[in-house]
A = this chain, B = another copy of it.
Amino acid sequence: MGGNGLLFIISGPSGTGKSTLCKELIRCCPEVRFSVSYTTRPPRKDEIAGKDYIFVSSEAFKAMIEQGEFAEWAEVYGHCYGTPRAAIEQALKEGQDLLFDIDCQGTRQLQQCYPQGITIFVLPPSLSELQRRLQGRKTDSSEVMQSRLSKAHREISQAIGYDYIVVNAALADTVSVIQSIVTAEKHRRQYVLEHLSLVKDLLKA
């Protein structure tokens, strides 16, 4: 083996079920590791520090920005989220595949550093379903919910810049589609030529 790992960037509007989807993907694809973001947002009830996010103070986050430690970062609804560059570099070097759950803004930043990243846009089955899901998230105030919904409308138009588009109607189906994307990407010429010594040997023969 040898060669770089792959970067799978899952993005899409709030309320499409990205977080649940990513958790399930990590459970089903043991070869892919979740890229844990830093955030200044307080943990939600079911979130585990160090696993879902690394929760830090605004001061600590600001210091990391100033040190240029983030490959991407963004402020969303008053909270900061960011992915440290060092973690990505380390994973790539080890041939470790990473899965990112980031917003559209973060995706664009990450693509500037890592144009090889494979971008997957997750869409809700419909706008009314998206609204229902956002309303079901009791942690948000109604202003935040309204703001999320109108942001979601705007973000959906960005799907056209992504490599893949997946409609998340049923979780198990969506997980299966993204597993297929992971498998397919691991059989792309470039990846195979870098990774499989058997193929290198056959081509040299």
Q: Is the CB of A189 within 8 A of B165?
A: yes
Q: Is the interface of A mostly helix, strand, loop or mixed?
A: helix
The answer to the question of A153 belonging to the interface, with a C-beta cut-off of 8 Å to chain B, is yes
Q: Is A144 an interface residue (CB 8 A)?
A: no
Report chain B residues within 8 Å CB of A167. Answer: 196, 198-199
Besides A160-B193, A165-B199, A181-B184, 5 more A-B contacts (Cβ < 8 Å) are: A165-B193, A166-B187, A167-B198, A177-B184, A184-B184
Question: When the two chains form their complex, are residues B123 and A159 in contact, meaning their CB atoms are under 8 A apart?
Answer: no
| Chain B neighbourhood of A181, CB < 8 A | 180, 183-184, 187
- Chain A 52-86 near chain B by CB (<8 Å), digits 1 or 0: 00000000000000000000000000000000000
Cβ B126 vs Cβ A198 within 8 A: yes
- Asked if residues A189 and B163 are in contact (CB atoms below 8 Å), the reply is yes
Whether A123 lies near B202 (C-beta < 8 A) is: yes
Judge whether B183 and A164 touch: CB under 8 Å. Answer: no
The smallest beta-carbon distance between A46 and chain B, in angstroms, is 28
Q: Name the contact of A127 in the complex, choosing from B157, B187, B196, B205 (C-beta under 8 A).
A: B205
Query: Interface size for chain A: under 10, 10 to 19, 20 to 34, or 35 or more residues?
Result: 35 or more
Q: Which residues of A contact B (CB under 8 A)?
A: 121, 123-127, 153, 156-157, 159-160, 162-167, 176-177, 179-181, 183-185, 187-189, 192-193, 196, 198-199, 202-203, 205
Q: What CA separation (Å) do A164 and B180 show in the bound complex?
A: 14
In the bound assembly, the distance between CA atoms of A159 and B162 in angstroms comes to 27
Partner of A184, one of B159, B185, B196: B185
Chain B residues within an 8 Å CB radius of A203: 156-157, 159-160
By a CB distance below 8 angstroms, the chain B residues around A126 are 198, 202
